[in-house]
Amino acid sequence: MPRRGALGRRTVAVALGGGGARGLAHISVLQALDELGVRPVALAGASIGAIIGAAYAAGFSGEELRHHTEAMLSNRLKLARRLLYARARGRKRLFKGVGHPFLIDGERFLDAFWPEGVPERFEDLEIPLTVVATDFRRRCEVAFSKGPLRPAVAGSMSVPGVVRATKTEVGYLVDGGLVNPLPYDHLAGKADIIVAVNVSGNSGPETEIRTPTAFQTMMVATQILTNSISARMIEENPPDVLVAPAVHQYLALDLFKAERIFSAGDACRETLREGLTRAAAKLGA
């Protein structure tokens, strides 16, 4: 793969979209950027993209994030303990009888699953980051790029029925993917080349023929929504480089299929390299 010289002095910004466990493919794409010697000057993320984007912006490499994730998922007992630690406490469950057996607290989840060393504030990240969430009261998008980091990311990952709405100084936040699952629009003007990594599910052949459970229906409905929003955004105003790992067959909580999801991201490395080269050539690099 060519190194950064192929881009000349052109700068790159990266948006990491929402998609639950499918977003583990983001890590593979970040690894590819590292191998290319491309250091983003700005990042934006929604939901799983915000979780991974924040860790990468804190200074962890794609390879370090992959090793960290593989280590967490390799021991199911330790993973179960982390999830138990992340359980929401002190409030009634939402979607009782429909949602997951227990509700996750987003900030506790981040404490349990982020690598040690992620700072408390946006201002202390090595790469500027924008996190997109949904303001539950106003039913609209809200973006964060300064102030406390954990509440913003926890809000962005608050998938209804799985993660409890996150209380912040601006109100309760829920999943950023509900309003902007691929927030590359927040990177406009921040770099010469904007890369968007779409893991919202895309489309593909049917993989489930059994009657879905209520919980599966809720999760897939969210996937259909985010995929539709992303598709419309891309059609109306495409990013300079679009990377779309083939992850449509995975559900939002398919964490134990991580190696296959990583592989789907790995398969996009040539697409990323060629896309960056074409974008740089178009700009006259």
Which residue numbers are catalytic? Answer: 47, 175
In the block, which residue shows the tokens 């690598």? 115
Q: Characterize the bridge pairing of strands 241-243 and 193-197.
A: parallel
DSSP assignment of the chain: ---GGGGTT--EEEEE---GGGGGHHHHHHHHHHHHT---SEEEEETHHHHHHHHHHTT--HHHHHHHHHHHHH-HHHHHHHHHHTB--SSPPSSTTTS-SSPBPHHHHHHHHSPTT--SBGGG-SS-EEEEEEETTTTEEEEE-SSBHHHHHHHHT--TTTBPPEEETTEEEE-GGGT-SS-GGGGTTS-SEEEEE--S----S----SPPPHHHHHHHHHHHHHHHHHHHHHHHS--SEEE--S-TT--TT-GGGHHHHHHHHHTTHHHHHHHHHHHHHHTT-
